A and B are shown apart, each in its own frame.
Chain A
Amino acid sequence: MLLIRCPYCGMDRPEIEFRHAGAAHITRPGPPDRVTDEEWAAFLYLRDNPKGRVAERWRHIHGCGRFFNAVRDTVTDVFVVTYKAGEPRPPESLAPEALTPEARP
């Protein structure tokens, strides 16, 4: 079973309690009257699809209910780190205790 660390619960919890919620750190363009159709379309639809580490939004929907962010590796499906919504993406050199179990050395 894949375990995901919820940064609010502070626990490793089963993957089935979580929902994926798209790419993280997407900034809504504004103000609305000055946003072009192209900018708006890019905000709504255009996403990278990289091979490797991506920052994503996840929601602990069958737990505390909160949205949070996670750095996940799309090749190995390892959750490198999870962090609270609103926090910046952590640097790649992370303290081992911050890593999810699969990513710990």
Chain B
Amino acid sequence: MADGFTDTPRFRLVEAPPLARFVLRAPDAALKVTGKAYGLALPEALNRGASHGERGKPGARVALHLGPDEWWLIVPEAEGPDVAAALEKALAAHPHSLVDVSHRQVGYVLEGEGAAGLLNAGCPLDLSETAFPPGMATRSLFHRVGLMIWRMTPGLFRLEIDRTLAPYFVAALAEAAKDHS
């Protein structure tokens, strides 16, 4: 349970442990070497996420393709420096930017059969499974704040929200939850 949010049988909100996060901007030509160095192939299709391992556990890797040349890479906090060094080495021949944004964002998991409906209280995206299937990841809005939504399974969403806006997000979600429990 996240601070300020009351879980119900229909949905739970869990704050993520500290994670290392990177924003990678790189050309398509760099994808192969990047994936090799990262230990996980970067998704080529836009608005898709890929992962292996369990969040926060050693070796866990997340890659989210959020813009035409933009990927977010999320790894356990302790592995951040090594991952960054490996990526910089692999990308040396390609014009790119790799920025550590570990502390910019807070991660959440929203899960349960009512999760999509609750997100839709503030997010205008079509979150039906045909329009937004598992594996899809994108930035969008929740009321007035931007957030990243990655659907891992039909009832499990991973969310990333800017740290200063997270209290607003949790409060707004908790308010919406009163109508959705």
Contacts and interface: CB of A to CB of B under 8 A. Distances in A.
Given A9-B46, A16-B141, A17-B140, A65 B70 contact: yes
B139 interface: yes
B67 interface: yes
Given A11-B47, A14-B125, A16-B124, A63 B140 contact: yes
Contacts of A11: 47
Contact count band on A: 10 to 19
Contacts of B139: 17, 62-65
Interface residues of B, number: 13
Interface of A: 1, 8-11, 13-14, 16-17, 62-66
Given A9-B47, A65-B67, A65-B70, 18 more contacts: A8-B46, A8-B67, A9-B138, A11-B47, A14-B125, A16-B124, A16-B141, A17-B140, A17-B141, A62-B140, A64-B46, A64-B47, A64-B66, A64-B67, A64-B68, A64-B138, A64-B139, A65-B139
